[in-house]
Amino acid sequence: MPFNFRVVFNGLCAFVPNRPVTPVGLPLEKPTEMQVVLVDARTRTQAIDGGILQPHFPIAVLKSVNLKGPRDLLPRTRLEWRLDRRELTFEVQDGTPHDFVLVQGAVRGAAPQGGQPEPGALPADTPRAANDFAWGAHMRLAAPAFAQIDPRCFEDAGSMGLVAARVVVRRGELANHGFDPMQTARYKFADTLGGGTAPRPFSNKASVEVRGVTSVKLVARDMDDLLPKDEMDLTSADNDWVEITIANADDGRLPERLPDPNPPRQPTEDEDYRWFYSLCAKRGGLDAARNGASLPIPVRQGATGPGVVVCMNATFDR
């Protein structure tokens, strides 16, 4: 019986295509693979600009009902699987798309000359579609000279201290997930490192989907050769969804958080974004380049606003 398969990526995930993509708009060359690097944020530390970096942990969350074969778990049990120093791949049989597809396309144009944008309208040079992957924050927007990721992130032993976990995506449609830009607060990056943005929404979730599959196997390889390979077969009812979440999540946080109608404090910036600078290939030059200023991170514009977003993802060049 065919079913559908979805992986939702949440939190401090660095997306690295095998071919560079622009921060917005149709890529010049379509990538054929995406590696997702979960930055090693498992220890509280201090960023080079003095900001405190709070711990995050790599987890996969799935439902026991989707495990294939005999099991002694209640059907509504949810499983949390720590992915420390694991490289995760998916072996998917049948289904569409057959290859890797990045959902990234047309951008919004500017208001007509002499015209005024509608109140609350989204700014120009942002994606037209709500599911466009480019609603995520590309490092070229924040720090163009530091947008290349450290190549050691794709090594095994060499990635120690940089990478908590890694996911290789070779099939499926990768898009922004569960995001309404009209109902999301706007953020901007400062131009400290030669980037900078006008206020715009940014997301913190993306998902990859393959429809009509007949089997899915999760394969987790230990990057340090300390543990044997783990394999897990998943299944579901005909035309139903198997959905798992892979997150680099705050200490003690599950992949979702219920909104608080009366929050004690709405975050005014995504402080966790500083973690991504530890992955930059040329991070040794960050201190001199910032010249005493704070590292560029997404800062919320306006005292109030809908849909505060934290633990954003980032896209790097390889």
Query: For 42-178, where are the alpha helices, taking DSSP H only?
Result: 139-142
The predicted-structure confidence for 225-255, as pLDDT tens digits, reads as follows 999 999 999 999 888 999 999 999 987 666 6
**pTM, entire model:** 0.93
Residue 107: DSSP 8-state: B
SS3 222: strand
Query: How long a stretch of residues is the chain?
Result: 318
* C-alpha to C-alpha distance for 274 and 278, rounded to whole angstroms: 8
Cβ neighbors of 118 (< 8 A, separation 6 or more) are: none
* pLDDT < 50 positions in the chain: none
* C-alpha to C-alpha distance for 236 and 120, rounded to whole angstroms: 42
How buried is 144 (Cβ within 10 angstroms: 0-12 exposed, 13-18 middle, 19+ buried)? middle
Compute the radius of gyration of the chain from its Cα atoms. 20
Give me the pLDDT at residue 264, please.
Answer: 56
* Tokens found for residue 174: 């990768």
* C-alpha to C-alpha distance for 311 and 180, rounded to whole angstroms: 17
Q: Within 13 Å, how many C-alpha atoms sit on residue 314's CB side?
A: 35
* C-alpha to C-alpha distance for 133 and 104, rounded to whole angstroms: 5
Query: For the chain, where are the alpha helices, taking DSSP H only?
Result: 139-142, 286-290
| Helix, strand, coil content of the chain in percent (nearest 5) | 15, 35, 50
Give the closest residue to 233 by CA, choosing from 59, 69, 73: 69
Give me the pLDDT at residue 113, please.
Answer: 59
* C-alpha to C-alpha distance for 196 and 221, rounded to whole angstroms: 38
Under a CB-based contact definition with an 8 Å cutoff, are residues 308 and 202 in contact?
no
Give me the pLDDT at residue 19, please.
Answer: 96
* C-alpha to C-alpha distance for 293 and 220, rounded to whole angstroms: 40
The predicted-structure confidence for 25-62, as pLDDT tens digits, reads as follows 999 899 999 999 999 999 999 999 998 899 999 999 99
- Measuring CA to CA, how many Å separate 276 from each of 15, 154, 214, 261, 309? 11, 15, 37, 30, 16
Cβ neighbors of 210 (< 8 A, separation 6 or more) are: 4, 5, 92, 95, 96, 97, 171, 172, 173
